[in-house]
Chain A
């Protein structure tokens, strides 16, 4: 199943991508949808365990807005 995690800035999105990749995820970056987003930003798009991915991002201090 494809998951998306939204991140406010491209710098943190790239950092998030790198740490998830180091943890075995296949991750891409895309613009997050405009609807209900609060503004511009990027999404990490990946398959795999969403909660584990959130935990990894938390451990690296990467703030995200939601997981879907």
Chain B
């Protein structure tokens, strides 16, 4: 299978990630932050070490600011529902994933949507600035669109938020580990991550990073602290880690960060973007192919590309590719906003998202198949 659905989850994991997960299962199977026996303390040390790696990678200010959640969606829910009260005004981009828009909608209808320009980051930042009001309680934006790959100007938006005193939440599901994200430099107050994408880690562990407070948690339970109290304090990180964390996954995240640091985030990004760019150039030459964003230039787009074969439903195209052993994602990618922006709510799009392990020959094969069906459509 040629796996090109890495924006959903990376299909191939580095050998060191697999080894780390197995090592954790064999040697660290104890509950961190609970017991006082050696195995529990070793597990706690291991988790703490990965918090530290994440803190360093994202300029988070310390391992105590890093919480492990069930996934990025849960992390976003913690922030959105922990900060906002019913009816609070919030600003979001028009490329947000449902992981942002659905929890937000459950809390408030008082939402302003800032348009993202594909070609002018100043314009995008200006749209955010205009949308922020005196009573705005939170600004949320994705680091990079999971449909178009567009990277948002986080530093510009963050600077506006800081100037206006509004907390800034970034959904780093697509950007974390792929594009540069530094919380301090970009004035990010809350960062949520999906390490199974950018760090090639196992699925089902997300990350919430913040130095700020969150007024309440939305999932209570045992967390190893204040056990005689029936009220759970929303302190980072334990206040957002009710129940047992997935130590094998967390240890795998640590190995994934080491992998990205060893190969070089910039090198990985350059490779993935070159494949997306190459594909874009070839598809652009085909009359029967629809593209929805400009050429994915360095620093402007993450390696995610949407297209359609004219006259074909995106699911039909993905099914044909699947029969040729090529894995891509069709449909609406859990993003009502992005597909409304692209005017693809009827057809959806076919999304191609290469990773570090993909090769140019695989893209050539994809192009060959697309050409065949594009001609005969």
Contact = CB atoms under 8 A, between A and B. Distances in A.
Interface of A: 8-12, 14-15, 29-31, 38-42
Max chain A C-beta neighbours (<10 A), residue from B32, B45, B225: B225
B234 to A, nearest CB: 13
B228 A15 contact: no
Interface of A is mostly: mixed
Contact of A9 (B41, B62, B238): B238
Nearest to A29: B41
A11 B226 contact: no
Given A15-B63, A31-B35, A40-B34, A10 B228 contact: no
A29 B45 CA distance: 11
A39 B41 CA distance: 18
B224 interface: yes
Contacts of A9: 33, 223-225, 235, 237-238
A39 B33 contact: no
Interface in B192-244: 223-229, 235, 237-238
Contacts of A40: 34, 224-227
Interface of B: 32-36, 41, 44-45, 48, 51, 62-64, 223-229, 235, 237-238
Nearest to B223: A9
Contacts of B51: 11
A31 B44 contact: no
A12 B64 contact: yes
Contact of B33 (A10, A15, A38): A10
A14 B235 CA distance: 16
Given A9-B225, A11-B51, A38-B226, 15 more contacts: A8-B225, A9-B223, A10-B44, A11-B33, A11-B48, A11-B237, A11-B238, A14-B44, A31-B36, A38-B228, A39-B226, A40-B225, A40-B226, A41-B225, A42-B36
A11 B223 CA distance: 11
Contacts of B237: 9, 11
Max chain B C-beta neighbours (<10 A), residue from A14, A30, A38, A42: A14
Contacts of B64: 11-12, 15
